[in-house]
Structure formats: structure tokens, C-alpha cells
Structure 1
Amino acid sequence: MGHVLARLSGFGLVLLPHWPYSFEREREGSDAVRVTRWTPSGPVQAVVEPGQRVDPTDAMDVEPGSDLPYWQIETSVFCARWPADFTLESPRDTGDRTPFYLQGPGEATIFPQGPVPKARLASPDALVAPYQTVVARRTDDNGVTVVELTYEHDDKLWWQAHWVLPFRGDQLVVLTAQSLESSSERARKAAETVVASFQSAP
């Protein structure tokens, strides 16, 4: 079993997946979760229904957890709510230290980076690539700054945004979201769900 950088907590449970893995809602509007462990011989799956018995499985370990009435993503650094309509996936590369990826409609991907020292992002354009166009900048009441960008790739228009969240001391966590521009509203909403519920890990 590989090292896992993220897990799910809620409904009195902690789901500890076996790498490489993915979590997805079993069906629309449900809190049931399908866990998939990807193995050389094929996927190993299990379904967790809140409030029902969870049998042992090769896809994950299960421990008692918080009684939150929703699923929360937990890493060693922070916790945040798992947005609806997005799967939660581990990196497939053992050298990738990104805790998780959220994958959604319109080729959307959302992922955290950091913590990083504030000095690394001192420039307003530290997160802007030369080929990208800035379409919006803002800062909320909690000191979270956002830069939204557009760019072209493979003859398609893409949207990308970075939320820079104050963290412990002189550090920051960056949450990046990107999708086809036509699906940017859904990707933005999912990222804002993560940002609004973001808190330092205990």
C-alpha cells in the first residue's frame, strides 16, 4: 500500500483509501461514496452508505470519525469540504506530492499546493504565466486573494484561477482550479466550496 496524503471524514467515519484511489458519489444527490483502488489486475471497489455497516475491503480502511453531516477532505495540513459533482483522486505518480486532485465537468481539475513561504508569491504576477490573460483580481474579507485567468490550449479557451489562502505564520496555501472556459462557473463554485470551508488541520 502506498502512502496516502488525503482521506475522507464524516458521518461518524474516516475512510482511509489504499493508493492509488478515487472517491466519487455513488449517485447524484446522495452521500453514498464509491471508493476505487486501482491495481495492476483491475479496480477494487467498495460502496459506503452513511448510517449502514461498512464491511472490510481491500479498497480502504475504515475508522471511527467525526459526526459531520457531510464529507470532509482531510490532509496533514488542512481540512475542507468535498464539493459535489467532483471526484477526489490521488496522484498516480509516486513522486507527486500534491495531496489530491478534484476532477469535474468540462475537464475541470482543482488541486492544492503548499504551504509555501509568502515571499515566494510576493509579486502580483507570481502565479500568472506569460501566455495567460488576467481577467479578474480580488481579495475577500478573510485576506484570501484570487486571480482569474484565461488562455488558449489546443485551440480551446481555458479558464484558470488561483486562491491564495493565509496559513500559519508567514505561509500560504494555493488552491488552483482550471477547466474549459465554458465550464468555469461550476469549477469556480467547487473551488469556492473548498476555500469557504478551509481550516488548518488539528
Structure 2
Amino acid sequence: LVVKNIELAGSKTKVLKDPGKYIKDEFKNGKLSSLERELYRKLHQTIKKVTEDILTRFNFNTAISAIMELVNLIYKYQEEVTAGKKNVALVKEVTEKLLILLSPITPFIAEELWLKAGNERSIHKVPWPDYDHEIAREELVTIVFQVNGKLRDRIDLPVGTPPEEIERYALSSRKVKNFTEGKEIVKKIVVPNKLINIVVKN
């Protein structure tokens, strides 16, 4: 995966003096796709998590877990976006930052891939990456709770919250319970990032 990303980024990003700054500007100006925004946000969240876990708590297990979440999202981006439409500046930024995060955990592999990416300076001599608190913060959407199509409550949740979690929040809402307790729930309809409609028999 890392090697493929290195090859993809390759010479295409050499025209950019600072791919990191370019991508941050694209993010803040709303020019990235939803999946690109998700990937870039996950990068900053991962830098924050790994920084806290390794440099502060010396907890490598949770750091590795956070890195794997980022890797899984990179795989998703690789699978869903065709090569010609990939944002190579984003790929370069995410891949290089990923290698730096891995360097305290797998120093030799990280160094080998770092040099393969065309970097002349050792990965162990480059600055540890910073993260942007604003970018790392979860993007929220308002989820509407309906019972038989009528608004009963609402809640702000992170974009992409799984349907089963939305169901759990809705069913635990006191305002929703007022209209569902003692009644048979026929079905639960979830529209991602928008609403859940709980259908009950009166």
C-alpha cells in the first residue's frame, strides 16, 4: 500500500512547493471531496492520538490501533477512487506523515520506505508532524429522531455515525421513549447523516 502510494505521488507533486499547505488550504476552502475530507481529518486525528500515546503515555498498543484505522481509510480511498482521479498531493501528505508516525514503532521499515519515496534526509531526523485541532475535531451533523414520521427529538453526531449507533441513541432518548414505550416497534429506518424513523404499532 505504502509503495503504491509513493509511486502514485512520485513526480506529480514535485510541482507543489508544499503539498501539506496546499492540502490544508484545499480542506479549509471546501475543495476536497467528502472522502478526501474524511481521510485528511483522520490523518490529523491520528497524529494527535499517536503523539499523545507514544510521546506522553508511552502506550504503543493504542497508537498502533489508531494507525491501523488510518491505514484502513487509505485502503478505502485506494479502492473507491480511480488512479486518474486521486488527489496526489493528499496521497503524498498522508503517506509521508504515516511513515513518520510509524518510525518509532518500525524504525528500519519506515526508514527504507522514506528513502524510497525520494527523501534524502533520514526519517529519524525530520520534525515530528503537527496536527490542527480544528481539522482533527469531528465534523458533526444533526440527526432527526422521528416516530411514525413525526419529529420527536434530534441530536448532533459525527458524520458517518453507523446506523446501529444512531438507533441506540434514538431508542435511549426520553422524548422518543414517550411515544414508543409499551408499543411494538415494527421497523427502524435510518437515513445516514440525516434521520431515523421508528415505526410503531399504536
Q: TM-score range by the shorter chain?
A: under 0.3
**Please, what TM-score do these two structures have when normalized by structure 1?**
0.21
**Please, what TM-score do these two structures have when normalized by structure 2?**
0.21
Greater strand share, structure number: 1
Greater helix share, structure number: 2
Which one has a bigger Cα radius of gyration?
A: 2
